[in-house]
Structure 1
């Protein structure tokens, strides 16, 4: 019965992590480019009281054994990189990556991070940057006298300069992809950093083999489905309650045993 207390406690702890993850998903339901997280569970070690196949007194073998599990643990929290809903913004610096790929972002420490958030801006120097002011890589500058901006599906950026009827190409958006994007490290601000598990980034132009294309004036929203997360939250809550009931049952059994008299 003491074992039941600890086993049920592992279930409550695992479901707490599950609720925390679901809460983060719901909190980011309107976050541009956000990718939801799923919790993976794994059962713990087993106490093998009798192994299957043990010989019996008649010379045969026991078909099944006796084993007692010791609970559950969270084995992983996995990012799900399914596409999010598409929002039409008509903003010329909003871009949608249709397919595989991440924008490359230069951080203040000189390292690169990666994002699916295409809500880009222009800073005081004319650079195309993220909402936090981090420039995309390679850096692209928009002239001050540019009257309009066009971005093609292959990431080519062209502007029309006042007084000129001929569009002028100013840069090319490049994308990066990973062999295992689920292995990326989330650092907040809609940014990811590569790890050994994700592999090194593979850089290419939009529309080339293995890379998505660019759509101007659109954004990829969060891939969180509210109804699905609500159902997951209800299931996690009930699992938490059931494990607490198991602790109460084990406690009552221990109380009964402690009240025995000779």
Structure 2
């Protein structure tokens, strides 16, 4: 009975992590350039049990193996703003200079920041948007549409989330390379790639599995209390 208690407890804890991933996707349903995450689970170690001439396997619950980012193209939404940019290539990114180094984003909602009487193109967090050479882009008017740098990676799945719809390059993703003749729509923004229907289905599945594991924990606890009271 102790095994059933800890097996169900492990499932409950890790399913909560899956619920958190789905909840974060739903929370960013309207976030420009946001890319949905998906949780992948794996079984914990099995114990081999000999039953007569048969060999059975007893599981020990599940665990969250990894969380992947789905780099799917979001729908373009027309805004008419000269400083709004929408990438039409799912594996391309804008580069911004943050306090933690250069990061990459799909959010093309840019603005002008005045610094020492000179205007620079920045993202919603105030980070400088970079050109193809990695330099901040100067801009004088909201009606201008300066050329921005567009970059890609050999393995987008290796990128690490950095918050604020930004990603960091890693050894798995490789270094950023400049995209020549990128497909960019000016006056448009990319909608979130989150599919609300898919997320609702995932949430229901996680909740049902969570409830089942919680019930097993409760039943195991009740049985252990009953056994202890007989001593």
Residue correspondence of structure 1 range 196-207 to structure 2 within 5 A: 196-207=171-182
SS of residue in 1 equivalent to 2:144: strand
Residue of structure 1 in register with 2:137 after alignment: 140
Does residue 129 of the first structure (1) align with residue 119 of the second (2)?
no
Relative to the length of structure 1, the TM-score reads 0.78
Measured after TM superposition, the shift of residue 35 of structure 1 is: 0.7
CA RMSD across the alignment: 2.1
2:72 to 70, 79, 82: 82
Give the gaps of 5 or more residues in structure 1.
57-61, 151-156, 158-171, 208-212
State the distance in 2 between where 1:21 and 1:147 align: 37
Residue of structure 2 in register with 1:178 after alignment: 153
State the distance in 2 between where 1:206 and 1:214 align: 9
Measured after TM superposition, the shift of residue 198 of structure 1 is: 1.7
Deviations 1:234-254 (A, max 9, x none): 111111100011112223333
State the distance in 1 between where 2:72 and 2:10 align: 31
SS of residue in 1 equivalent to 2:178: strand
> How many matched pairs?
223
Whether contact under 8 Å (2:83, 2:142) holds in the other structure is no
Relative to the length of structure 2, the TM-score reads 0.88
State the distance in 1 between where 2:181 and 2:122 align: 18
Please identify the structure whose Cα radius of gyration is greater. 1
Give the gaps of 5 or more residues in structure 2.
none
Does residue 104 of the first structure (1) align with residue 101 of the second (2)?
no
Write out the 4+ residue segments of structure 1 that deviate beyond 4 Å after TM superposition. none
Deviations 1:24-68 (A, max 9, x none): 1111111110111111101001111249xxxx9xxxxx5x52121
Residue of structure 1 in register with 2:164 after alignment: 189
State the distance in 2 between where 1:147 and 1:34 align: 24
State the distance in 2 between where 1:5 and 1:178 align: 45
Residue of structure 1 in register with 2:31 after alignment: 31
